[in-house]
Structure 1
Amino acid sequence: MKVFSSNWLRVAVLALFLWPAFCLAQVAGPYTDAEAARFLAQATFGPTTADIAHLRQVGYQGWLNEQFAAPVSTEKPYLDWVAGLPNTPDGNNTVNDDTRMEAWWINALGTPDPSRGMRMPTDQLRQRVALALSEIFVVSNANGTLAYEPYALASWHDMLAADAFGNYRTLLEDVTKSPAMATYLSMLANQKADPTQNIHPDENYAREVMQLFSIGLVQLNTDGTPKLDANNQPIPTYDQTVVRGMAAVFTGWNWNNATCTTGSWPCCTADTYTNCGPSDTNSPAWWSPLQPIADFHDSTSDKQLLNYPGVALSNGILIHGGDAQTEMTAALDNIFHHPNVGPFIARRLIQRLVTSNPTPGYVSHIAQVFNDDGSSAHVRGNLQAVVQAILLDPEAVVGASYVPNPDAYGKLREPLLKLTHLWRAMGAETPNGRVDTPYPEWESTYGQAPLRSPSVFNFFKPDFQQPGELSQRGLFGPEFQVYTATTAVTIPNDIFHRIFCDYTTSTNCYSSGGPNTMSINADRDAVLALNNPSGLIDLYNLLFMSGQMSSFMHDTLLTRLNAMTDNSDGTLGRQRVQHALYLIINSPEYSVQK
């Protein structure tokens, strides 16, 4: 079953309403459970039967409005809650990066949160977009300092979640002033040039804020394709002169002194500029925006910033004389208004949510919404409007049957999202609300884990091309970069444990049955599996594959389940459930989200 089959009339109607660049009109549907499941696979960490029914009731726009209004689920309060628990011999109440991961799992899965009286997070879309943003604006515990600073990383993710539906310009400044980012990309305590001491402004953040967070390396058309010069070569967006100019702008910023006292750690002043870091991992300095220290900001040199048609600064030159905040504002405005930002951010968010190879028309539509949200105020950078446009574009709603090359549509599912999908679809919870994260080391088993990227380039690059047919056809497959010979084995092995060991009535598997063990409800569908295995496959076709399972796969699964006949211990139904889950989640058809 396909989402829209060959109903071209519906495709035409959707295109009529959705394709205009600034159209924010409500969209009818979903008309079937399969359409609802497919939308939720893009917008959440995995559909549930309850979510599908609710989406059918309120419609796409109603669901989006609910998600935009849902309160932000944060991580830092969870760390505070764990820190207040009594110590245990096994150190389970020690706050570290695994504690932050616990909070991430609870918010991503929407399971009862023990730090909030077992209330359940409801902001699935916001958390999904925050994950996408964390893979664009990368900060990681791979940094030697941040590895031991869970409050810094939790606060970073909380900032991404809070800004997910705000304005990109606000996000850009919050990113720039974040102590986590300043630590990760060495902007903290960046000093103006002093040739007598061989001091030069650090260029790390100045380079990455342009290359990775905003405009990329080459000039783009609105549809995301590169602009070419007279020799048919891409045109660079900036050169080393601009990098040096941006680096000079980002001088003179250090830890926030808001709660600093000389009795706790040295406050940041000209005298203590390079030695005034917080003394505690839960110090407010780890989540408070950086503050300027005037003595170390370069206010005496003109700075070459980005130069592009319509730039506010004459030839992109920032005339000297401004303080650190004034010059940061000018530089971030200079980046924000560059024409590349719309198509750059549009393509990356589309790749994270919908498809790895969006058509130029799709990118252009979203870039235009970024440039002007269509409201009476004509707001630039409205991320709420951008996210809505991405999810309601015909390429997202209709899918492969809408694009000229259907076999190039879709994306390899991020490994981590396979597990969140399994857990959400199968009603997984832990007995006490906490989540056992030390096993496994997620980033080595799954090739990724939130805020644990090996580098600022994320777990996978947006332009990664898997050797073979993808590369030969000029197609991109970012997630294939973490689908290595190792993860091709470790992921199915771990999924096996989650399905065959970590279920609610399990008592005979290693690590299963503990108070922090996330366990699926494998018995929920056992009666259906026992009496109607074909119906079970239909249910999982909906939950996991949005009704897109081929008849070949359906028949193969049914043959397997029917071959299982021994019910001497009364567990045949549950075993059929487990076999169906394992085979589906590790299948090629499921592995590609379409």
Structure 2
Amino acid sequence: MSCFVSLGILCGAAAAQSHRPDEILRQGFEPVSAGPFTDAEAARFLTQASYGPTLADIQRLRQIGYNAWLDEQFAATPSYEAPFLDWVTTQPNGQNSVYQQQRLESWFINSAGLYDPSNPPRIHNDQLRQRVALALSEIMVVSDRNAGLTFQAWALASYYDMLVRNAFGNYRTLLEDVTLHPAMGVYLNMYGNRKPDAALNIRPDENYAREILQLFSVGLKQLNLDGTPVLSGGQPVPTYNQNVVRGFAHVFTGWHLNGCTVNEYPDCANNWFDSDSPSWRNPMTAFEQYHDNTTDKQLLNYPGVALPNGLLVHGGTAQQEMAAALNNVFNHPNVGPFIAKQLIQRLVTSNPSPGYVQRVATVFNNNGASVRGDLKAVVKAILLDSEARFGHTGPNADKFGKLREPMLKLVQLWRLTTARSANGRINLLMDPGEEYGQGPLRSPTVFNFFKPTFQNPGEIRTLGLVSPEFQIATDSAVVSVPNDLDWRIFYFYVGSTYSYAQDPDQMLIDYASLNALAANPATLLDRLNLLLMSNQMSPFMRQVILTRLNAMTNTNGGRDRVQHALYLIINSPEYSIQK
């Protein structure tokens, strides 16, 4: 019997260690969008398109197929954070304070699809929208680590809600909404930005101008459609220079929080202390007296640019010049591949092939109806691309996949076990930012928790690959994350006698459905393999865990076996790499 290594079909001892999926012959025999044909295919798709599959999710996806499921998700009612914070203020004294903790509480309710005490009996099911919003939040970063935003929970909730609202909209609209959001205005110093005044030694702040170019749209290097750098003399070609940064800085002058007055500009101190003020939820307002309308601005210059040589001639209002500048950015040829690659990295794989990037970037440039920047079409193209569906079995399977973001392990655990608290509230006890190294809108810098170009030293760097999430897989994180998951798995469950678990706002895991499988460890392991690993667990790993479970007495109604199985899988190297 021969071995067809090129197809991933191994023989003998090698086969015992293999964890390649068995769908490798699927590619080429049906359309990419066909199926899913197995529960494992459904679970794997849902791992990319949501915060983790449930049995009900798998059943629904198999019943209606990929396209219909995507249409359902595109049409699902969006889940927002600000209304939850409004509801918190109506609660009895001692339970009505609103800080970042309550914003995180709302994020977990929406992302994990938990019971929402602010809007019963609604269960949030816009999983794809929430997943894309998180991806966008890690590209267009604002953070509560900024001193001006630390106590502004409504500002950050409103910002995240803006990302949720735009997740399937147009990227041009998203760019403008990000630019004018007060949270971004504070975070990158666009609010209160003023035209030049030589007498007062005032020059326009360049912070937002620099980051909208470097991080939110075109990047530092000119790109081909497939995301590879354009080279000249063997060297990358810069996308812009300091004159362009200066030009955008002059464009973004004359804006401040809604509710500010001309006399208060640029301080508007009263708006800082009223954290639930509409000023934190509404777009910033233009103040023409402080906008530079007397300077010509050098913007991006590229083939086909609408502005002659990328030069914005002075004389427009703050709104007019901002619109012209954003159009100048939006139509740059870099935007499609630059944003497409990062969204692929967040949802599917850290190292997409140039062909994958090009196919998605092509959809960004034209959704098929001559519309540029259609994020709904982009998301669909990402998830239904042949590489997304079959990359884990193809010739580059060993380079396919991504490290799971640590925070998402907790979200999937709660989804898998239908966790809940007695009163619907969530007391996280430990700060996820400290335990997991990340939290929604809690990045330490504008560069996110990890850079899309980060390369882990060693084999990954030697092979020329990137591994973004490994940037926060620090020595402390590889201890703190398993420790926190251990605490939640073994102490916080329905029926626990642990003192902290008695609080009505503690999330308790419901093991009932899994406990029923524990009498047969192989059956239990098969269920967890499907839901957590899309049936990609290697025979070696399966046997190690199965041996452990069989050695345990089936006590506490099966809960002991379930807890050990969950802990071992969620903290395993194989689960940690999403394939």
**Does 1:429 find its partner at 2:420?**
yes
Instruction: Show the counterpart of 2:451.
Output: 461
Within 5 Å, give how 1:332-411 maps onto structure 2. 332-375=326-369, 378-402=370-394, 404-411=395-402
8 Å CA contact 2:20–2:392 kept in 1: the answer is: no
So what's the TM-score if we normalise by structure 1? 0.93
Q: CA deviation at 1:2?
A: 6.8
Q: 2:352 aligns to what SS in structure 1? A: coil
3-state DSSP of counterpart to 1:389:
helix
1:490 corresponds to which letter in structure 2? S
Residues 110-509 of structure 1 mapped to structure 2, 5 A cutoff: 110-229=113-232, 231-257=233-259, 267-270=260-263, 272-275=265-268, 277-278=270-271, 279-375=273-369, 378-402=370-394, 404-437=395-428, 439-507=429-497, 509=498
Cα distance in 2 between the residues matched to 1:275 and 1:111: 39
How far does residue 93 in structure 1 lie from its aligned partner after superposition?
2.3
CA distance in 1, matches of 2:571, 2:505: 25
Percent pairwise identity: 58
Q: Which amino acid aligns with 1:562?
A: N
C-alpha contact (below 8 Å) 1:3/1:34 kept by paired residues = no
Equivalent residues in 2 for 1:85-100, closer than 5 Å: 85-88=91-94, 92-100=95-103
Q: CA deviation at 1:433?
A: 1.1
Matches within 5 A, 1:69-88: 69-88=75-94
TM-score (ref. length: structure 2): 0.95
| Counterpart residue identity of residue 534, structure 1 | A
| Separation in 2, partners of 1:522, 1:85 | 30
Asked if residue 560 in structure 1 is aligned to residue 551 in structure 2, the reply is no
Post-superposition CA distance 1:291-314 (Å, at most 9, x none): 110110000110000000000001
What residue is the counterpart of 1:108 in the other structure?
111
Distance 1:94 1:270 in 2: 32
| DSSP-derived class of the 2:380 partner | helix
Q: Secondary structure at the match of 1:120?
A: coil
- CA–CA separation in structure 2 for the residues paired with 1:206 and 1:54: 45
Contact map agreement 1:3 1:398 (CA 8 A) in 2: no
The 8 Å contact of residues 215 and 338 in structure 1, kept in 2 or not, is answered as yes
Deviation at 1:444, TM superposition (A): 1.2
| Other structure's SS at 2:527 match | helix
Instruction: Please list the CA deviations of residues 217-244 of structure 1 after superposition, one character each: whole Å capped at 9, or x if unmatched.
Output: 0000000000000x20000000000000
Deviates more, 1:111-120 or 1:537-546: 111-120
Which secondary structure does the structure 1 equivalent of 2:179 belong to?
helix
User: Equivalent residue of 1:146, what SS?
Assistant: coil
> Is 2:167–2:375's contact at 8 Å kept on the other side of the alignment?
yes
Q: How far 1:159 moved relative to its partner?
A: 0.2
Shift of 1:7: 4.3
Unpaired segments ≥5 residues, structure 2: 1-17
1:190-228: CA deviation from partner (whole Å, max 9, x where unpaired): 000111110000000000000000010000000000000
- Report deviation, 1:513: 3.0
C-alpha change, 1:271 and 1:6, in structure 2 (3 Å) is closer
Equivalent position amino acid for 2:299 in 1: L
The within-5 A match list for 1:536-575 is 536-565=524-553, 567=554, 570-571=555-556, 573-575=558-560
SS in 1 for 2:516: helix
Q: Over aligned residue pairs, what C-alpha RMSD do you find?
A: 1.3
Partners in 2 of 1:188 and 1:450 — Cα distance?
23
Which amino acid in 1 is paired with 2:446? Answer: V
- What stretches of structure 1 move > 4 A for 4+ residues in a row? 1-4
Q: Do the aligned residues in 1 keep the contact of 2:193 with 2:266 (CA within 8 Å)?
A: no
